[in-house]
Amino acid sequence: MSSLLLLTNALQPSTEVLPALGLLLHNVRVAPAEGPALVDTPGADVILIDGRRDLPQVRSLCQLLRSTGPGCPLILVVTEGGLAAVTADWGIDDVLLDTAGPAEVEARIRLAMGKQSLTGDDSPMEIRNGDLSVDEATYSAKLKGRVLDLTFKEFELLKYLAQHPGRVFTRAQLLQEVWGYDYFGGTRTVDVHVRRLRAKLGPEHEALIGTVRNVGYRFVTPEKADKAERPSDPAGTAQAAGDKGSEGGESPSGGRTEAVIRPATR
C-alpha cells in the first residue's frame, strides 16, 4: 500500500477526480491544489494532480512542484480533451485520464514508483559546459560559481540550448520546445529572452548563445566562444599574409588582398 497525495480543489476528491482510487488499497490524502498550501504538506510516494480544469493554473502548479523538488513522481489527472494540452515542459512523470480503470491506475503508480527507485539520486541531470553548469534538480544555473538570477523560461531556454551544444534551432522550434505548442505568442518572444539571457551571462560569456543569421540560435561551446571573442594578433596576421604572398609569388603589398572572415558571435 502506497501513500498518495491528491492535489485538488474538488469537494469530493476520491469519487470525483479519479473514481478508480476508491477501489485500490492506497492511503490517499488530499490537499488544495495551490502553491502556498504545499508548504506544510507531508511527503508522499506519489503526487496526483487534478488537471481536469484550469489548465494554465495546473501547469504552473506542476512546474512549481518540479522546481521545488518534492522527490517523488508527479502524475497528472486530466480529461480526454485536456490531454492534448500537456507537453514535456509541464515537468510531470505521467498522465492519467480521469476515466482510467483500477488496473491502469495501479499499474501507472507502480511503474512511476519503480522508475523513481531505479533512477534514485541520478535522475536530476547537471549539464556542464566550461564555466557554466545547469542543475535541473534545483532549477539553477551557475557561471563560474555565481548563481544566475533567471526566470523560469530563461532557465528552460538556457537548459535546452546547453543540452544540444552546436545544434542550430529556429525560433519556431525553440518556441515549441520551451514554451509549448499551445503558446500563442510570436517568435519575437524568443529574441527577447535570448537578449535577457545574454545580458545576465555578461559581456565575457554572452557569446555562449550564438546567432545564426536568418535561422535562429545555438549554444556555442566555451572553447569556440573564447576563440571567437579573442582579438587577433596584428603581428601574426601580418606574418601569415607575408607567408601567403611568398607562396604565391607576390609580396604582401601586391595587388591581391586577403580577407579574414570571422564567425558571427551574435
How many CB atoms within 10 Å of residue 203?
9
Q: Which backbone phi and psi does 257 adopt, to 5 degrees?
A: -115, 145
Identify the residue whose cell numbers are 509541464. Answer: 90
Which domains, ranges and CATH numbers included, belong to the chain? 3-122 (3.40.50.2300), 126-228 (1.10.10.10)
Long-range residue pairs from 189-196, CB within 8 A, at least 24 positions apart, any chain: 190/157, 190/216, 190/217, 193/153, 193/154, 193/157, 194/157, 196/154
Residue 260's pLDDT is: 42
Residue 36's pLDDT is: 65
Residue 218's pLDDT is: 93
Burial class (CB in 10 A: 0-12, 13-18, 19+), 170: middle
What's the average pLDDT block by block, 10 residues per block, for the chain (266 residues)? Answer: 86 80 87 71 83 90 78 90 88 91 92 74 67 85 90 92 89 86 77 94 92 91 58 43 43 42 46
